[in-house]
Homo-oligomer: A and B are copies of this chain.
Amino acid sequence: MADQDQTDTWGSKSWAYLSSLRQQSPLIQCITNLVSMDLMANTLLAAGASPAMIHSILEIPDFTPHTQAVLINVGTLTPEWLPAMKAAAGVANRLAKPWVLDPAAVGASGFRLKACLELIELKPTVIRGNGSEIICLSMASIGSTKGADSLHESSDAVEAAKSLAKSSGAIVAISGSVDFVTDGQRVVGAHNGLPMMQKITASGCSVTALIAAFVAVDPAHAFEATASAFSVFGLAGEIGMGLANGPASLRMHLIDSLHGLDRETVLRRVKITSFS
């Protein structure tokens, strides 16, 4: 199914996004879970973006209009945080800014599922989850997702993702051994990355933030930007793994590698292929 010419195109595309990101340094507002804030902010900084972890509803009207994209992650959701998430998504919509939803552990409770469905009503540009989360959302019923981890292979979730993309109008992105991206019609797989990245807490949350940053520099092509962000993050992990002895050193080297990624490496090693 791989198409080598496509692959070359995707390498160029990915590099174009990353270099634009470094030049433009878009301001990305993150309303995210308490576990992920540190790694997410460092991921965005290493990629060239300007992160802002601002979550008070009182600040949305003043601050959100100045951002280039909004990231919302429900990983440690409480009722107090939900109104600010909705307000920020609302501002993003009104001002035609992209916003990205990470339905982290959406199957954990009825409360969380309901919150995610309400957020999806606010038209996210991209939804990024693991297989279980995307299936759960697509089924719109409480699944038995096991914590924040994925029980389903990402490929199993592709049909669910297409269905969710059609019903929501969002690009839907699934993390897994291969990462999939669909707009409901097209499906691409991003093959970079490695299994040990799942042993780093908040690595999934951080790639969603990176997606927001990539989409911020080209909101009209969120499908391409999302696939490129997946591969760039995975590629940074692959390079980092060359120096790592375990998950903690991988985490460090991944961020270093993301910061240092050069054109030649991106062109040569990004691997994204089309699926029919």
Binding site for B on A (CB under 8 A): 27, 33-35, 37-39, 41-42, 45-46, 50-56, 58-59, 61-63, 66, 75-80, 105, 108-112, 142, 144, 146-149, 199-202, 243-249, 251-260
Contact = CB atoms under 8 A, between A and B. Distances in A.
B109 A59 contact: yes
Contact of A199 (B37, B46, B77, B146): B46
Nearest to A52: B147
Contacts of A201: 38, 41-42, 45, 51
A149 B247 contact: no
Contacts of A251: 42, 248
12 contacts: A38-B201, A46-B246, A46-B247, A53-B75, A56-B79, A62-B142, A245-B256, A245-B260, A247-B256, A248-B254, A248-B259, A249-B252
B66 A144 contact: yes
B42 A247 contact: yes
Nearest to A243: B245
Nearest to A41: B201
A252 B259 contact: no
B59 A112 contact: yes
Instruction: With a 10 A CB-CB cut-off, give which of A27, A59, A201 has the most chain B CB atoms.
Output: A201
Nearest to A113: B62
Contacts of A146: 27, 50, 66
A38 B271 CA distance: 30
A177 to B, nearest CB: 17
A149 B50 contact: yes
A129 B147 CA distance: 27
B253 A56 contact: no
A111 B58 contact: yes
A259 B111 CA distance: 34
A193 B109 CA distance: 39
Given A27-B147, A35-B37, A246-B46, A108 B256 contact: no
A65 to B, nearest CB: 11
Contacts of A112: 59
Contacts of A248: 42, 46, 251-256, 259
The 9 closest A-B pairs by CB, nearest first: A246-B256, A248-B255, A41-B201, A62-B109, A59-B109, A52-B147, A58-B111, A248-B252, A246-B259
